[in-house]
């Protein structure tokens, strides 16, 4: 390739494929790494470390999903039969957090696990919608 030629930009199909493959890889990583993940930085071997990994992967998946939506200039949120129950449950968690006696615990969950609070429920809901919106039916046998 000469200096005057510019590299060929990725087509929309290959960009879409990149975003979906990256998200698919993150879900595979989350499913495989979470049971095995622990650190020597604290005394907690189970919940706290695994929740921190889940939060980190949620941020990465959310960023990739937002990148896909920006690249394609579309919003990808697949509707499911669970939409109404999830929305009602999430609203109840927000109201519960707002009127909580201990806001810290309501936001972050039980102090040694960082699970069961609004942050973890938000993470689970985001992961659910990222999964159903970005993973195709043909990819599902890879998870079972």
pLDDT tens for 2-41 read 454 444 444 555 566 788 889 999 998 998 888 777 766 6
Name, in order, each residue with C-beta under 8 angstroms of 27's C-beta and a sequence gap of 6 or more: 61, 131, 135, 143
Query: Do residues 117 and 109 make contact, with C-beta atoms less than 8 angstroms apart?
Result: yes
pLDDT tens for each residue of 50-104: 888 899 999 999 999 999 999 888 888 999 999 999 999 999 999 999 999 998 8
Answer yes or no: are the C-beta atoms of 92 and 106 closer than 8 Å: no
Joined together, the tokens standing for residue 118 give 């609004």
Taking the whole predicted model, whether its pTM rises above 0.85 is answered as no
Q: Give residue limits of the domains in the chain.
A: 12-143
């Amino acid at each position: 390739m000469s200096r005057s030629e510019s590299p060929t930009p990725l087509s929309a199909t290959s960009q879409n494929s990149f975003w979906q493959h990256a998200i698919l890889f993150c879900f595979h990583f989350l499913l495989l790494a979470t049971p095995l993940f622990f650190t020597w930085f604290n005394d907690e071997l189970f919940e706290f470390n695994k929740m921190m990994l889940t939060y980190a992967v949620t941020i990465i998946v959310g960023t990739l999903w937002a990148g896909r939506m920006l690249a394609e200039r579309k919003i990808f949120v697949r509707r499911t039969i669970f939409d109404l129950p999830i929305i009602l449950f999430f609203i109840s968690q927000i109201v519960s957090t707002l009127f909580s006696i201990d806001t810290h615990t309501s936001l972050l969950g039980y102090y040694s696990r960082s699970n069961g609070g609004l942050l973890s429920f938000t993470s689970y809901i985001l992961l659910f919608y990222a999964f159903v919106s970005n993973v195709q039916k043909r990819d599902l046998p890879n998870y079972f």
